[in-house]
Copies of this chain bind each other. A is one copy, B any other.
Amino acid sequence: MASSSNSSNSSNVDVLIVGAGPAGLFLATQLSKLKISTRIIDKMAHPVLRGHADGLQCRTGEVFEAMGVQYRFDLESHECAEVIIWEHDDKVGGIREASRVVDTLPGLSRIRHVNLGQDRVEGIFIDAMKENNGLEVDRLLEPTSLVVDEKNLGNPDAFPVTVTLKRLPAPKELANGDVQSGMYRSNLFTDESQTKGNDVEGDHSGEEVVHCKYLVGCDGARSWVRKTLGYRLEGDSNNVYWGAFDAVIDSDLPTGRMKHMAHSKDDGTVLMVPREDSMIRIYTQMGTLADGERVDREAVTLEKLCAKTQAVLKPYKIEFPYVDWYTCYEIGQRVCDTFTAYDDHVFIAGDACHTHSPKAGQGMNVSMMDTFNLGWKIASVLRGQSKPDILHTYQLERQYTAKELIDFDYKWSRLFTGQIKPGKDADEGEMRAAWEQSIKFTSGTGVVYAPDGLLVLDQPNASKLAKNITVGGHFENHQVVGAFNAHSIKLQAELKADGRWRVLIFPGDVRESDALDALTNLGNQLQTIVQKYNSKDADLDEVIQVLTVFKTAHREIQYLAQSLPEVLIPRRKPYNIRAFDTLYCDEPSHHDGDGKAYAGYGIDPSFGCVVVCRPDQHVSGVFGMSQGKDIAAFFDRFMVQQ
């Protein structure tokens, strides 16, 4: 375990994560990869076994690749290539294909929108964090009190946050083979039903006290951490409730493995999302509620979900030879005003700060992107590399993103459930147009963090240097060729989530002596910058890695490389040999065409530029080749000289 004990029932750990859903597991995986002392607890006896979230957006996949786990998702997930929209047609006595659109807009990302059950998503991260440093989820633990030593919040050696944990007894085993009801996690019922899946036997068996530097509440929509801080989710419900279930279908619907959105005349809407193996997630609109009304539990039986689905899909037949799981939920959009407390020593993330309707496949993604934003910042402060100020950008960046999502979801879910009627409250075809417009947003590739003067610079003129790079947005992918191995390489995928900053130099064609001189001068300045923040005896690229993308063929670069400043191809432990993975060339590859990276980023090779990327691939700023001093000033604002 990554925590140290200082008495029999008391221990210290740098980061305590409450809740082992996607947000918590993603954070734990990131911190375990960065070798940060971490503990992750959950009150449930086991991970999610079935059902729940299942959409994985493009940007999420890019981040998974940076974390080194995307290959697992490639093996297991299912891509819905097209979305088919069905409308009522009297002539056929039911639904008829009205239109179809491609699900992932070509060019949006190198990784496509896919679906995989939350049980498998969690399983992959549980495996990954164990592989990273042996970290495992400590289950059947519930927090009962939070005490913060406010005097010591500024002391980096203190563990100012104290959480008391209660050990829960092991539950009876879940029955196998039955259809599992997910009602115990549904938002339609009161808190008491929450542990229904965890029926307990006997008494609790003790308490323990954990002292930590940072506490992160990833404990879901009913977050104990959020409630204990006295924060509330604010927002709306639109009084529509839905059923969701996972089933194998037998149907004469001709397009079974596509994504479907079917609008019936009188029976509401069904959304069907095929997933791994033969499983299909089905969302079925069940009814509306008056203000303050609660759902009648009898209304959400599996039989009714199936019957409603069959009614919507007429004239097509559909049977359900196997049902794996079902639940129901009320559509609501709520967000918390504040994601942080106690001078950024306590955070909330994921569903604890924002909830919304599941059908746009956002929840699991936005939750993991919350903790992706937070993890490297906590690690960098704990390592003494960055000032604690950077932690406050978590609130700025992710609360803004959550609000954007809520606004989108509010509009989208009303369109979707027919509360805004196409042709009446909205133009004919608005549904389809909304879907198409939404793709960029829902893919996660549209997230741009606003300038904060710290981690994202306010650079209105950056586009003069790199027309297609958005400061605050993530660094997009273009293909390059490895200078030493001639491999075709996805440049974005080289920006691993290993906690390092990247300085990407685009020097143009260094056969021009001006370009070579500019690169050499910049290299000498960067050498000073990276050494300033490096620990003694570390490799030169321990904290900031410099990558260079030439507009020169790789053969030329191979012969030139020996004379470049060492920061561009540093020597590395344990053998003290030179790197062969830091230089790239924008040229056609042997097997995969291309040679369009400069054009793709909108960089003029005769000027070149420098792009500074954060450890989460977001662009902090774009600089000219002669702006070494500005790059130095940027890092000086938040980094700690060693």
Contacts and interface: CB of A to CB of B under 8 A. Distances in A.
User: What number of copies of this chain does the assembly contain?
Assistant: 2
Interface stretch (A252-260, A370-378, A632-640): A252-260
Nearest to A581: B257
Interface in A250-304: 250, 252, 254-258, 274, 278
Contact of A254 (B79, B278, B487, B558): B558
A485 interface: yes
A79 B487 contact: yes
A488 to B, nearest CB: 9
B106 A591 contact: yes
Contacts of A78: 485
A558 B255 contact: yes
A254 B557 CA distance: 9
A227 B590 CA distance: 47
B256 A484 contact: yes
**Chain A, interface residues (CB within 8 Å), range:** 35 or more
A580 interface: yes
A249 B580 CA distance: 12
Given A257-B485, A558-B255, A562-B252, A577 B321 contact: yes
A485 B555 CA distance: 42
Nearest to A589: B81
Contacts of A81: 485-487, 590
Contacts of A321: 575-577
Given A250-B576, A254-B561, A256-B580, A591 B112 contact: yes
Interface in A556-591: 558-559, 561-562, 575-578, 580, 590-591
A318 to B, nearest CB: 11
A434 interface: no
Contacts of A106: 590-591
A208 interface: no
Contacts of A256: 484, 580
Nearest to A81: B486
Given A486-B82, A487-B79, A249 B577 contact: yes
A174 interface: no
A377 B257 CA distance: 35
B104 A575 contact: no
B485 A322 contact: no
A258 B554 CA distance: 12
B487 A575 contact: no
A258 B575 CA distance: 19
Interface in A72-131: 74-75, 78-82, 100, 102, 104, 106, 112
A248 interface: yes
A420 B104 CA distance: 57
A71 to B, nearest CB: 6
A78 B486 CA distance: 12
Contacts of A257: 482, 484-485, 580
Interface string A482-494: 1011110000000
A95 to B, nearest CB: 14
A267 to B, nearest CB: 24
Nearest to A108: B591
A470 B591 CA distance: 24
Contacts of A555: 100
B249 A590 contact: no
Nearest to A79: B487
A81 to B, nearest CB: 4
A162 to B, nearest CB: 42
A173 B534 CA distance: 41
A248 B591 contact: no
A100 to B, nearest CB: 8
Interface string A443-471: 00000000000000000000000000000
A591 B322 CA distance: 33
Contacts of A75: 71
Given A248-B577, A321-B577, A591-B112, A258 B485 contact: yes
Contacts of A248: 575, 577
Contacts of A258: 484-486
Contacts of A249: 577
23 contacts: A71-B74, A71-B75, A78-B485, A80-B485, A81-B486, A100-B555, A102-B590, A104-B591, A248-B575, A248-B577, A250-B576, A252-B562, A254-B559, A254-B561, A254-B562, A255-B558, A257-B485, A258-B484, A274-B485, A278-B575, A321-B575, A321-B576, A321-B577
Given A104-B591, A278-B577, 20 more contacts: A78-B485, A79-B485, A79-B487, A80-B485, A81-B486, A82-B590, A102-B590, A106-B590, A106-B591, A112-B591, A249-B577, A252-B562, A254-B559, A254-B561, A255-B484, A256-B484, A257-B580, A274-B485, A321-B576, A321-B577
Closest 8 CB pairs of A and B: A81-B486, A257-B485, A321-B575, A254-B558, A257-B484, A102-B590, A248-B575, A250-B577
